[in-house]
Structure 1
């Protein structure tokens, strides 16, 4: 109440003026009442006094690999290819700062949940129209395809084995090895024709080309070593109850999935994948490790390993077949081989 106001003159200010003077509407709200005060207090109790944004962000990053505010990953050190380091994506940080500035400048608007839902549905429809305009897509990818790609992304060696057993002929490896050797030899011969490169640089380029290691089809272990493949999916974790013990106690647990628990399966995968990545930080780079699964239609060059990779997924017609003519193989996978070799000498392979 505001007793200084005559009730017969302005009853609203008499009854509510004191509240208006003592309580300012927060910038995050369009209104403020006793209901809002109680809700604020309730939320404080629910979150617990020990809750901190830093801890939650750290757990999301370290446990589940979900990038919140700060984006980082464990990868090969460009300056020392035998070690792993944490890469922090500064470009993302710059983008984050720009967005923060825009948000600060933006005028605060009240939010109507019903209207917001309608607007978001419009946005989803717009995204479909944009995708249709850019890529010609008129419908979403079939669920089974999304699921297959997800499993392949999280269990690439297990899926790779199934794929290799179903679709990749063993003799194909030797044919591709011969193709790589011939294309590498021609690449080295062309170095002599370069007028802009001095003799010393040509010698270094030849040495690097000869040192390129090839990975063809799939890692032999995924077919020949069941124990190694199974052990890859043993999860090592530290129980929260003993995390402060020095040294901490670690447990091994087989990854298990349930057909009717999709969300739980996703959480399990996130924790397992991030734990696997972070462990590499204290390990030397395994130069024999494949940088791709077998069931992938693509090819790669790794500058840190000086390695070219041709998964079984791309060693299929029309790119390649041990039974098709050499001309088709040279025009298909031969072009891809040459492309990947040259990555060792462009801006990607300069390190």
Structure 2
């Protein structure tokens, strides 16, 4: 067989073999590359799994919510401070630095931040287009009418103060400080004046109303106690300060803005202040009220006069007050009297002062609150006082203050809209589950305790099992049946006159409190506070806990948070 020369052409079969070898090499390379890539990916996933397993083993939460929550905490602390040296600065330093106090409030905290958000939500639902199923609900319609009248500044300015001045002169016997020396003290009748002020829901000096009976939580009784002070705390009257000066200036400026006769204002302002200062000396602080619970006296309407040896007839005053709501008191109606010492001493102080001073003071306290319902120039006078009392630098935006006003007075109508737009139903179910778990753990701890006797354990467990939990809102608000809502707000019918609406609400609220005296306490009913508040409550007389819809916001609650 002849040998092949070097320059002879390569046979076709040899070419095919060479191509096969090249292709095979490429495939081997691709396979090797894929193996490397898969190995890297596997390593990454294994690393993630290892981290996840370690997180579980170490009881760590690495969900998006937990990372967000951890970031919130990290952004609040000040790591430049040693916690053992100043724990408050360590825990809150950066939060304090990043959260300034708003001009229209005297403080800032998490509650205030959430309340601001809720206030904005309330304004939104009072001004947005209504859902189809809410258009014909009268309660919601009147809530929006009340809001619109409140924000209508031009109408408020046009109305002026004639309505308020008419109430002062024709219903309350006049405000002497506005009449100069011409005020006739023969008009003065303390009982009638206090009665009329109570009709407008003003408890001044003496506080009276209906409360749940301390001895029988299924019934109501009458309660008499001290009322509040204009400066809130007794200590603020002890020395002359910027606050006491601002308070007297508030009196002077408001009175001067309402009259052309300023001849008696200076003396009247000083007399009013001195009168209240004397009252403040006997005013009980909150700590004193808690410490002296045993001094509360329980009696009846028939025996009330024996308790008070004063010139002021408390018995007749209460009978007339409840008659405003067509409730006739009997001699057997129970009465609880708190701060008896204050009531007796203040009754003596009233006897020692002229009708002019007492009339001036009582009307002043009424007008002090009404300044917020008057045109802008009068609200500004109040605002200047609040800057000293509250530490504010500006009035709240009108839309926010009006939304809050509607929410305070017609909160359940507002909540009807709020829960549909802003409340997550998951929150209700999760909260009930959490409460169940907490209750079970608590009972287990009670049963295992060694320091309690068996009778005490049984009573404690019985009470724990009987706790009535209210989550989010009362069930009727999420129902198509609006009968209860409409009945509750049947009297709340409004016009475009803000001041008339305000005075009407005051009368309604007063009568509502008196009317419930003859009703039976519904221990399962939702409390007085509406769902649209950032707060939570425990009512001892009902053994009830309530978590309103408004508080179900970060950082207090989130459906994605770990249990």
State TM-score, norm by structure 2.
0.40
Structure 1 residue 198: deviation in Å? 2.0
Q: Identify the residue that residue 73 of structure 1 maps to in structure 2.
A: 209
Q: Identify the residue that residue 525 of structure 2 maps to in structure 1.
A: 289
Q: Identify the residue that residue 91 of structure 2 maps to in structure 1.
A: none
User: Which structure shows the bigger proportion of residues in helix conformation?
Assistant: 2
Unaligned runs of 5+ in 1: 1-28, 30-34, 110-120, 236-254, 328-351
Q: Distance in 1 between matches of 2:534 and 2:504?
A: 27
What does 1:211-290 align with in structure 2 at a 5 Å threshold?
Answer: 211-224=466-479, 225-235=481-491, 255-259=492-496, 261-290=497-526
Asked whether the equivalents of residues 534 and 550 of structure 2 are also in contact (C-alpha less than 8 Å), the reply is yes
CA RMSD of aligned residues (A): 3.4
Structure 1 residue 267: deviation in Å? 0.9
What does 1:330-345 align with in structure 2 at a 5 Å threshold?
Answer: none
Asked whether the equivalents of residues 157 and 293 of structure 1 are also in contact (C-alpha less than 8 Å), the reply is yes
Describe the SS at the equivalent of 1:73: strand
Residue from 345, 355, 360 that aligns with 1:97: 345
- Aligned pair 1:316/2:545, yes or no? no
Unaligned runs of 5+ in 2: 1-175, 226-337, 358-379
What does 1:174-185 align with in structure 2 at a 5 Å threshold?
Answer: 174-185=429-440
Residue from 45, 57, 64 that aligns with 2:194: 57
- What per-residue deviation string (whole Å, max 9, x for no partner) do you get for residues 289-317 of structure 1? 21121101111111111111010001222
Structure 1 residue 94: deviation in Å? 0.9
Describe the SS at the equivalent of 1:71: strand
Asked whether the equivalents of residues 71 and 92 of structure 1 are also in contact (C-alpha less than 8 Å), the reply is no
Q: Distance in 1 between matches of 2:339 and 2:418?
A: 37
After TM superposition, the structure 1 stretch with the greater mean CA deviation from structure 2, 95-104 or 182-191, is 95-104
Structure 1 residue 195: deviation in Å? 4.3
Q: Distance in 2 between matches of 1:58 and 1:149?
A: 28
Q: Identify the residue that residue 197 of structure 1 maps to in structure 2.
A: 452
Q: Identify the residue that residue 540 of structure 2 maps to in structure 1.
A: 303
Structure 1 residue 279: deviation in Å? 0.9
Shift of the 219–141 alpha-carbon distance from structure 1 to 2, 3 Å rule, reads same
- What per-residue deviation string (whole Å, max 9, x for no partner) do you get for residues 110-169 of structure 1? xxxxxxxxxxx999757524533xxxx433333322222221111121011121121002
Asked whether the equivalents of residues 215 and 308 of structure 1 are also in contact (C-alpha less than 8 Å), the reply is yes
Structure 1 residue 73: deviation in Å? 2.1
Structure 1 residue 181: deviation in Å? 0.3
Asked whether the equivalents of residues 216 and 311 of structure 1 are also in contact (C-alpha less than 8 Å), the reply is yes
- Aligned pair 1:84/2:332, yes or no? no
Q: Distance in 2 between matches of 1:198 and 1:131?
A: 49
Higher relative contact order structure (alpha carbons within 8 Å, sequence separation ≥ 6): 2
Q: Identify the residue that residue 168 of structure 1 maps to in structure 2.
A: 423
Q: Identify the residue that residue 248 of structure 1 maps to in structure 2.
A: none
- What per-residue deviation string (whole Å, max 9, x for no partner) do you get for residues 174-232 of structure 1? 11110110011112222245444222111110110011010110011123121221111
Shift of the 217–122 alpha-carbon distance from structure 1 to 2, 3 Å rule, reads closer
Describe the SS at the equivalent of 1:81: coil
User: Which structure shows the bigger proportion of residues in strand conformation?
Assistant: 1
State TM-score, norm by structure 1.
0.62
Asked whether the equivalents of residues 468 and 524 of structure 2 are also in contact (C-alpha less than 8 Å), the reply is no
What does 1:122-137 align with in structure 2 at a 5 Å threshold?
Answer: 125=384, 128-129=387-388, 131-132=390-391, 137=392
Rg larger for? 2
Asked whether the equivalents of residues 297 and 311 of structure 1 are also in contact (C-alpha less than 8 Å), the reply is yes
- What per-residue deviation string (whole Å, max 9, x for no partner) do you get for residues 258-292 of structure 1? 23x11111111111111111110011101122112
Shift of the 150–99 alpha-carbon distance from structure 1 to 2, 3 Å rule, reads farther
What does 1:124-163 align with in structure 2 at a 5 Å threshold?
Answer: 125=384, 128-129=387-388, 131-132=390-391, 137-163=392-418
Shift of the 56–126 alpha-carbon distance from structure 1 to 2, 3 Å rule, reads closer
Describe the SS at the equivalent of 1:214: strand
* Alignment length (residue pairs): 249
Asked whether the equivalents of residues 293 and 311 of structure 1 are also in contact (C-alpha less than 8 Å), the reply is yes
Structure 1 residue 104: deviation in Å? 6.1
Shift of the 268–188 alpha-carbon distance from structure 1 to 2, 3 Å rule, reads same
Shift of the 209–99 alpha-carbon distance from structure 1 to 2, 3 Å rule, reads same
Q: Distance in 2 between matches of 1:122 and 1:104?
A: 31
